[in-house]
Structure 1
Amino acid sequence: MNYPSRLVEEAVLEIAKLPGIGKKSALRLALHLLKSDLGVTHRLTDALLNLREKTTFCTICHNISDGDICQICGSFKRDDSILAIVQDTRDVLAIENTGQYTGKYHILGGIISPIQGIGPNDLNIESLVERVRNNPEIKEIILALSPTMEGDTTAFYISKKLSEYNLKVSTIARGIPIGGDLEYTDEITLGRSIVSRVNF
């Protein structure tokens, strides 16, 4: 691709490093910024710098936060007795968008994956155990992890680590998506849906 200037090319190459953005989209964004008021670019630059330099992580659940404690952990409206264990912040956002969950979270920062060299010590599992040990209000752990081999391994490991505590340990339901056809559902999902059937 030929660029009108070296400066445009440098901007396009940097923008294209972002996930989901190809060089054409990056060029469109760069040209948009070039045509926009200079203040637009300054505000974007300031927002990105603040994101990198001022964002912290909650000392309780490891969620992205503006301070030591995130809004969810600091809220008196949340149910302290239920703790959803998730892989990362994107999972928190997905669950929050449902409007169905009122408990709190614990973010692992990944899942156990020997192939990628990620072991239990690389995750926020020990802080989870300590959190359960020090907070008798926690009565239920929801293992809200992806239904993959790594997710199941992580869930099994966590359930073993927490087995000495008097907790209800559950997992999110797995089955046929709403509006899905049985004939297109894979055998494992269909089998689990039948085994984990609920009363009608």
Structure 2
Amino acid sequence: MTPDAVDRIRALVRDVPNFPEPGVMFRDLTGVFASAQGLRDTADAIIATAPEGIELIAGLDARGFIVGATVAARLGIGFVPVRKAGKLPPPTTAISFDLEYGRATFELRDTTVNAGQRVLVVDDLLATGGSARAAGALLRRSGAHLLGYSFLVELIGLAGRESLEADPEAGGVPVHSVLTLPA
């Protein structure tokens, strides 16, 4: 990943202060998604740090679908959506997890992931790590071999990376991000 590519991606991220509430700096990634070059740069940056032997990309609902599907297409491999509860027809496997403001549930359609399949989790943003950690657990429960996590943006100071790296069930899989920005 060249410094120019990182600069191009960062220039496409819009900082929106005090949204959705006072004191929060929202990182609007719409500019990255709307730019063909931004999508290429993002996918190439994730691929450059990805572990060997990926067989499937798993993207988290909803913006992780954009990033993950782009990476999968560039690699010529499949993509599986990790969906919010109630979005997939049964049969599904589900996992619930805590958020800062409540609980959420992810679902994965049964038989989407083959036992032992080597999967990389891709999402747009790493904050506290709760949703990515839950997705990793859901994929492992479905028989996947989790290779790691990759993000377009990592928010520093929210301990998301530390949460993922400390997950004893994940076995110390790598965590990568294209951009690191203050929370």
TM-score by length of 1: 0.34
Give the greater-gyration-radius structure (CA).
1
Higher relative contact order (CA 8 A, sep 6+): 2
Q: Report which of the two has the higher share of strand.
A: 2
